[in-house]
Structure 1
Amino acid sequence: MWTDEQLLDQGWTVEQITTYRAEKAAEVISTAPESVIPATVVPKHSIPMLEDTFVAPMKAVGPIMSNSTMTAILMATLLAIVPFSLYSISNAEGTQGPSGDVGMSGMNGSNGSSFHLVTSADALPTCDDSVNSQIFFIAVDAAFQVCQNSMWTPIDLMGQSGINGTNGASGTNGLDGTDGTDGADGTNGADGTNGADGTNGADGADGALGNNGLASLIVTRSESILEGCTNGGIIVETGVDDNGDNTLSLNEVDSVIVVCNGVSGQDGADGDDGADGSSTGTMMVARLSAAPASMGCNGTGELLEQGMDDGRNGGIAQNGVLENSEVLFRTLICTQYDIEMVEDFNPGATGSNPSNFVSINSTMYFTANNGTASGIWAYENGTISLVYSGSVFAMRAIGSQLMFAGQTSSFGIEPFVFDPSNGTAWQIADISSGSSGSFPGEYTLIGTSVYFAATDSSGIFDLWAYETQNFSVWKVEADIQPTSLIAVHSDLYFSAGPSNGNVELWKHETANNTTFMVKDINPGILSSSPQHLVLMGTTIYMSANDGGSAGTELYAYDLTNNSTWLAADIRPGVATSSLSDLTVMGTRLYMQAISGTHFELWAYESTNNSLLEVTNFQSTSGFGGPSGFTVFDGKLYFKADDGSGAELWATSPTNSTVWLAQEINSAGASSPTDFHVFGGTLFFVADDGTNGRELWSVGAWSQNISFV
């Protein structure tokens, strides 16, 4: 609908405009619902309609916006600048009258409104020539932006304050009263009271009030429960303040819009990596790598090389990579470990023979005999003390307690528990009474239950369990000879078979208390005899024989699909490689095995199913294959004999170099065993030829730096 000014610009007269407005008002009254517009209402103003739909999630929480007076003035100013969109609440329509004659084509209209309403700044269209110089109201921000010079710019449409009106004329002064008659002079007496003031003159008449402008108002309110909106939403009501009270009354509401709350959007995709920077011909570049064994660092060293990225001697200049031809300096960093005896428990050549090393929190426990007492010893913060005196065999940690095979009053071997918190030990059960005992071992904790192998009077080993919460002991499965027990989450895997043979891979599920053969690797009555079970990820590796042409070799069992396969045939053909001491280090599996002539250290790489013979000692020693493999500080330590006696050796998976860590007994063999890592230190037992078998450690280290 055209404004009066636009119609005047088109050549209309004032009389034509008045007639036109009256006709439009009559049409509005005839089509409006009676509940909204009474028959006596005459429209006081004309409000053009906008083409855009107004959907604006406003943040007001009450029926009236804050600072209502200022809001009304602002909206009135906006109404004077741009047309406002109104929507009718009612959908009711009157009976359609007969079509009128086709009127003459009107004159071309002027440009449409430059004012639009959107929900949020994200809903703004692209700022280009199609919306240049047009104003948009951002409902969620209660602010305006204008498109100019291809960009959206916030604007402030608050007009300047109007000029103060002139003061009204002062009222006329009141009439003076008449003078009173003089009294006769009397004697001077007391002063009389003051006379009353005269009445004020009447106020002048107020000037006539100016006509108030009509303001457009917007009211929003949030609703947590709203029909058609899953997450609630906002109700937006708009209308003209017809009665000028700065409040949008129910009968003044011209439009109601519901805006539903959305859900949080997903995170945007990561941006692309920036391009690599380039070096210059004068930039120093470097590389750090494991030192070759030929440089004498015994596999523990690192080689730092430096040079200019200038492409000298046929290299590629400014590629950010140090090439061999560009190397100017080399620095060799050798790491040396201190290997020493911790303490001589039993002075003299006999030794204390420590063994059964386990750790609980900040304390390491082990068994030893110092010549005076035999039992469980504790090592904490460099201090060693006897915590339990008695016969102790096959000790393992079960949570915060120790479980071991101890000797009863009748000299039988039965399961015992020692609690370090109170220093007490007790026998949990007399599984096989008498002087022989049940010979328990391989205690494995799952949850609060400990599973172990033991034999009762029948002489055949069974699977037993001990509940640490109520101290109960029971037989889980009889006559199955369980060995090589390992815990995998809440299940127990082990090697077992009935008394008539057929030893295979078994499983006990603690969730439903069932025990069964999980995989018959060698189908039929013959056994696959799985042993030395270790877990790597979701795969159990073991030595086994599937009855085929490979003999006893390295086999793998996948927990996810119950499949078994030959992982490596170290000794091809039907002969066995007799592998043992399976030890996991990252993705690599180390083991002792024989390929046909000597027992050596072998490595199996699970990522590509490759095999590597790491050592070759027995070609000269003829006996004493590597054993006792233990991972410490990224290296593998073990006992081996190169022909000069069994000593402490090590290998690095980085370059598979092998070196003598230390010759502890130069006159013979120190024969290191019982390796155990605790508190950043590798502990083991060895004989230096003077003090007998005592406790040793590989701990503090130092670096030796040299330029080559």
Structure 2
Amino acid sequence: MHKKAIASIFALLLLIAAAGYMIINNDGNDPNSPADAGEWDVYYVQSGSDLPNCNSDTKGRLYYVEDDAGFQTCTSTGWTFVDLTGSAGLVGADGVDGMNGTDGALGAPGVNGTDGQDGADGEKGNVGETGGQGYPGQDGTDGEKGNVGETGDQGDPGQNGTDGLDGHSVLAVTTPAPAGTTMYCSEDGIRIDVGVDVNDNGSLEVSEIHYTQYICNGEGGQDGVNGTNGSASPNTMLTSISAPTLQACSSGGRIMKQGLDNADGGGIAQNGILESGEIDYTTTYCSNFVVTRQADISGGIFNGYANDIVVMGTRLYFEAGDGISGYELWVHETTNGSTWQVTDIRSGISSGFANYIVVMGTRLYFEADDGSSGYELWAHETTNGSTWQVADINPSGNGYAYDLTVMGTRLYFEATNGISGEELWAHETANNSTWQVADIMSGSGNGYANDIVVMGTRLYFEAKGSTDDFELWAHESTNDSTWQVADISNSGFGGRAADITVMGTRLYFEAWTSSSGHELWAHETTNDSTWQVAEIWSGSGHGNANEITVMATRLYFEAQDGSSGEELWVHETVNGSTWQVADINSGGSGMANDITVMGTRLYFEAYDGSSGYELWVHDTTTDSTWQVADIISGSGSGMANDITVIGTRLYFEAQGNSGVELHMMEIEHSITYN
């Protein structure tokens, strides 16, 4: 057994003996002072710290210290450990084996030993079952072509394919070509436009023309000898065709009169002239302009407006205000005449606005202000009615999104991040990224990007560089390069480039030089040439060229020559001729705002000096110009802004008896027989 255990047992025996002695001999005295000094007393303490002071009172006493499992005695040198271990006794007999303990956990596997030598090959086994088919091998070389086999029986006819889409009609329109108005005809002739009626409205519009042919009259020959007069007959049917008055048929028409040349009603028989008394039948084909208000958004005499109108399918989207929600994005469904607010971007009476609206697929993009981020780029998805801010270009103020222009899946516009000034920016709708395209005016100055137009993969716009003022600039989207196209003024002052319009490979715009003022200019992109197209106001006066609009080979615009005021003008690109179309306000400015093409006609806002600013029309086939409607009777102005075409109808903002609201113009046709 362990020595400590033996000592513990021995000490316990001594304690028992001492305790018995002390019990037997205790006379009530202090237990530390035994009555019989001849006796050896043993005392018990828990630890060495419990031992009393070693002095004359405790000298010779024996103490058992539990924590040490040993004895100490007080000597002249202090407390001393007493070794009670005697000499080792004889080894006792082995005890009975104890029960086996539980197995310990498995140790980690040892390192694999080295492989032994390979055993001798066994006897050859039986042949196994046939395995699965292997992968096909590479094709062998083709054998020689065999003889043609006999013709097989004809198969059954296949099912009829689905019907193809209905085709569009091909239209041909003839118009007079007076001598001098085209480079092709020195004499009078006829212009023939041929194309496909893509929108199936029965009218060949400019965008639908595929080619144009001129048939010119030859020079007049000598008169032939007059033939003998034929015999007259009172049974000859004569027809007279004339135009009705605009008061009767505001959009034009025809009056066809027929009768016998028989002297009825006091006429002269057989004179070849259909006289009033000889008329038997009259057929009048009449077309009238009809203008109606489409919605009273603001109610009463207040102005709801309809700004920045754009078309998506059968719907119009625009900015308007109902007097409750401020000016927000609205929509009008043309098929049923319903009108409603699309979204309330800035909650409450404040206006969120919806400026520079453009269409891309089923989505609208525009500039708006929610009251916290300032004016930024926003979007509206028409398929689910969701509206959201696309980007916060300037986190500390207005980022703006001027002149939004679509090119493929990208939007280009003028904006500012608050650091670089107003510059050209882009937004890629495919990945929702937005970035500054160029820093035209380096630093915090404004380079701008006005009147942005698209030609192929290139943008053209008016901008202000570091050395020249406003001039014509370009950006090539395929390599991200930006440069000044031309220095028109060549003086450090801005040549400008306003109302930029694309026709084929050319740009037409209004520009300025110190010698000619503001006039019509052109830039040919194929050879990078730039020139003044016309000197409308001779000298340094400003002829201007605003509202430039393309119709076939012609440009129509508002200009002034210094004598007639601002009126409707035209430039024929095939021969370079330029002339005033009409003098709407003789002695003053008739204007020609928001010029819009529908078929062979131009619609615009003009002023004749008496009826105020109203909706007017110019028919290019007859070279006639007249007022469509006097929306506000008298000298008041009905206005006609943001003119937009859907099919054969015009939609526009106008001032009526209920304030400025959305209006529509359509043409109603009638036939009367007398």
TM-score range, shorter chain: 0.5 to 0.7
The alignment partner of 1:392 has SS state of coil
Greater mean deviation of Cα atoms: 396-405 or 290-299: 290-299
Alpha-carbon contact 2:600-2:621 (below 8 Å) kept: no
Give the CA deviation at 1:497: 2.4
The alignment partner of 2:527 has SS state of coil
Give the CA deviation at 1:341: 0.9
Instruction: Assess, with a 3 A threshold, how the Cα gap between structure 1 residues 457 and 499 changes in structure 2: closer, same or farther.
Output: farther
Tell me the equivalent position of 2:524.
558
Tell me the equivalent position of 1:641.
607
User: Which whole-Å CA distance do the structure 2 matches of 1:288 and 1:537 have between them?
Assistant: 43
Alpha-carbon contact 2:414-2:449 (below 8 Å) kept: yes
Tell me the equivalent position of 1:673.
641
Could you say which structure has the larger radius of gyration? 2
Give the CA deviation at 1:623: 5.2
Matched-pair identity in %: 31
Deviations 1:224-274 (A, max 9, x none): xxxxxxxxxxxxxxxxxxxxxxxxxxxxxxxxxxxxxxxxxxxxxxxxxxx
Instruction: Assess, with a 3 A threshold, how the Cα gap between structure 1 residues 377 and 617 changes in structure 2: closer, same or farther.
Output: same
The residue type equivalent to 1:389 in the other structure is D
Alpha-carbon contact 1:581-1:628 (below 8 Å) kept: yes
Which of 459, 464, 477 is matched with 2:438 structurally?
477
Deviations 1:202-235 (A, max 9, x none): xxxxxxxxxxxxxxxxxxxxxxxxxxxxxxxxxx
**1:698 matched to 2:665:** yes
User: Which whole-Å CA distance do the structure 2 matches of 1:612 and 1:292 have between them?
Assistant: 28
Give the CA deviation at 1:691: 0.5
**1:501 matched to 2:501:** no
Tell me the equivalent position of 1:379.
332
Instruction: Assess, with a 3 A threshold, how the Cα gap between structure 1 residues 566 and 63 changes in structure 2: closer, same or farther.
Output: closer
5+ residue gaps, structure 1:
1-60, 67-279, 316-326
Alpha-carbon contact 2:451-2:461 (below 8 Å) kept: yes
Alpha-carbon contact 2:240-2:258 (below 8 Å) kept: no
Give the CA deviation at 1:340: 0.9
Alpha-carbon contact 2:283-2:671 (below 8 Å) kept: no
Deviations 1:79-111 (A, max 9, x none): xxxxxxxxxxxxxxxxxxxxxxxxxxxxxxxxx
Alpha-carbon contact 1:530-1:544 (below 8 Å) kept: yes
Give the CA deviation at 1:459: 6.8
Alpha-carbon contact 1:463-1:477 (below 8 Å) kept: yes
Tell me the equivalent position of 2:322.
370
User: Which whole-Å CA distance do the structure 1 matches of 2:516 and 2:257 have between them?
Assistant: 47
User: Which whole-Å CA distance do the structure 2 matches of 1:396 and 1:290 have between them?
Assistant: 45
Instruction: Give the root-mean-square deviation of aligned CA atoms.
Output: 3.6
The residue type equivalent to 1:563 in the other structure is S
Instruction: Assess, with a 3 A threshold, how the Cα gap between structure 1 residues 566 and 426 changes in structure 2: closer, same or farther.
Output: same
Deviations 1:157-211 (A, max 9, x none): xxxxxxxxxxxxxxxxxxxxxxxxxxxxxxxxxxxxxxxxxxxxxxxxxxxxxxx
Alpha-carbon contact 1:395-1:402 (below 8 Å) kept: no
The residue type equivalent to 1:376 in the other structure is L
Instruction: Assess, with a 3 A threshold, how the Cα gap between structure 1 residues 313 and 460 changes in structure 2: closer, same or farther.
Output: farther
**1:392 matched to 2:345:** no
Alpha-carbon contact 1:293-1:657 (below 8 Å) kept: no
The alignment partner of 1:573 has SS state of coil
1:342-357 alignment runs, 5 A limit: 342-357=294-309
Give the CA deviation at 1:463: 0.3
Instruction: Assess, with a 3 A threshold, how the Cα gap between structure 1 residues 300 and 612 changes in structure 2: closer, same or farther.
Output: farther
Which of 338, 361, 366 is matched with 2:290 structurally?
338
User: Which whole-Å CA distance do the structure 2 matches of 1:520 and 1:293 have between them?
Assistant: 51
User: Which whole-Å CA distance do the structure 2 matches of 1:595 and 1:313 have between them?
Assistant: 49
Deviations 1:130-158 (A, max 9, x none): xxxxxxxxxxxxxxxxxxxxxxxxxxxxx
The residue type equivalent to 1:384 in the other structure is T
Tell me the equivalent position of 1:69.
none
**1:617 matched to 2:569:** no
The residue type equivalent to 1:642 in the other structure is D
Give the CA deviation at 1:703: 3.2
Give the CA deviation at 1:292: 8.8
1:112-123 alignment runs, 5 A limit: none
1:50-69 alignment runs, 5 A limit: 62=147
Instruction: Assess, with a 3 A threshold, how the Cα gap between structure 1 residues 639 and 313 changes in structure 2: closer, same or farther.
Output: same
5+ residue gaps, structure 2:
1-145, 152-229, 261-269, 274-278, 346-351, 442-446
Alpha-carbon contact 2:244-2:252 (below 8 Å) kept: no
Instruction: Assess, with a 3 A threshold, how the Cα gap between structure 1 residues 544 and 699 changes in structure 2: closer, same or farther.
Output: same
Matched pairs, number: 417
User: Which whole-Å CA distance do the structure 1 matches of 2:257 and 2:373 have between them?
Assistant: 66
The alignment partner of 2:586 has SS state of helix
User: Which whole-Å CA distance do the structure 1 matches of 2:238 and 2:365 have between them?
Assistant: 53
1:594-613 alignment runs, 5 A limit: 594-597=560-563, 598-613=565-580
Instruction: Assess, with a 3 A threshold, how the Cα gap between structure 1 residues 537 and 302 changes in structure 2: closer, same or farther.
Output: farther
Alpha-carbon contact 2:593-2:604 (below 8 Å) kept: yes
Alpha-carbon contact 1:290-1:655 (below 8 Å) kept: no
Give the CA deviation at 1:502: 3.2
Give the CA deviation at 1:371: 2.3
1:279-298 alignment runs, 5 A limit: 291=243, 297=249
Tell me the equivalent position of 2:395.
433
**1:422 matched to 2:375:** no
Give the CA deviation at 1:470: 0.8
Tell me the equivalent position of 1:512.
479
The residue type equivalent to 1:585 in the other structure is M
User: Which whole-Å CA distance do the structure 1 matches of 2:237 and 2:455 have between them?
Assistant: 47
Tell me the equivalent position of 2:412.
451
User: Which whole-Å CA distance do the structure 2 matches of 1:294 and 1:418 have between them?
Assistant: 44
TM-score (norm 2): 0.56
Alpha-carbon contact 1:550-1:574 (below 8 Å) kept: yes
User: Which whole-Å CA distance do the structure 1 matches of 2:506 and 2:570 have between them?
Assistant: 17
Instruction: Assess, with a 3 A threshold, how the Cα gap between structure 1 residues 564 and 302 changes in structure 2: closer, same or farther.
Output: farther
The residue type equivalent to 1:539 in the other structure is R
User: Which whole-Å CA distance do the structure 2 matches of 1:292 and 1:536 have between them?
Assistant: 37
**1:583 matched to 2:549:** yes
Alpha-carbon contact 1:292-1:299 (below 8 Å) kept: no
The residue type equivalent to 1:410 in the other structure is S
User: Which whole-Å CA distance do the structure 2 matches of 1:536 and 1:286 have between them?
Assistant: 47
The residue type equivalent to 2:642 in the other structure is D
User: Which whole-Å CA distance do the structure 2 matches of 1:452 and 1:407 have between them?
Assistant: 16
User: Which whole-Å CA distance do the structure 2 matches of 1:455 and 1:290 have between them?
Assistant: 60
The residue type equivalent to 2:577 in the other structure is S
The residue type equivalent to 1:434 in the other structure is S
User: Which whole-Å CA distance do the structure 2 matches of 1:642 and 1:693 have between them?
Assistant: 21
Alpha-carbon contact 1:580-1:592 (below 8 Å) kept: yes
Deviations 1:351-407 (A, max 9, x none): 211111112233221111122334212222222222211312323224121111111
Alpha-carbon contact 1:681-1:698 (below 8 Å) kept: yes
Instruction: Assess, with a 3 A threshold, how the Cα gap between structure 1 residues 577 and 421 changes in structure 2: closer, same or farther.
Output: same
Instruction: Assess, with a 3 A threshold, how the Cα gap between structure 1 residues 623 and 411 changes in structure 2: closer, same or farther.
Output: farther
User: Which whole-Å CA distance do the structure 1 matches of 2:388 and 2:483 have between them?
Assistant: 32
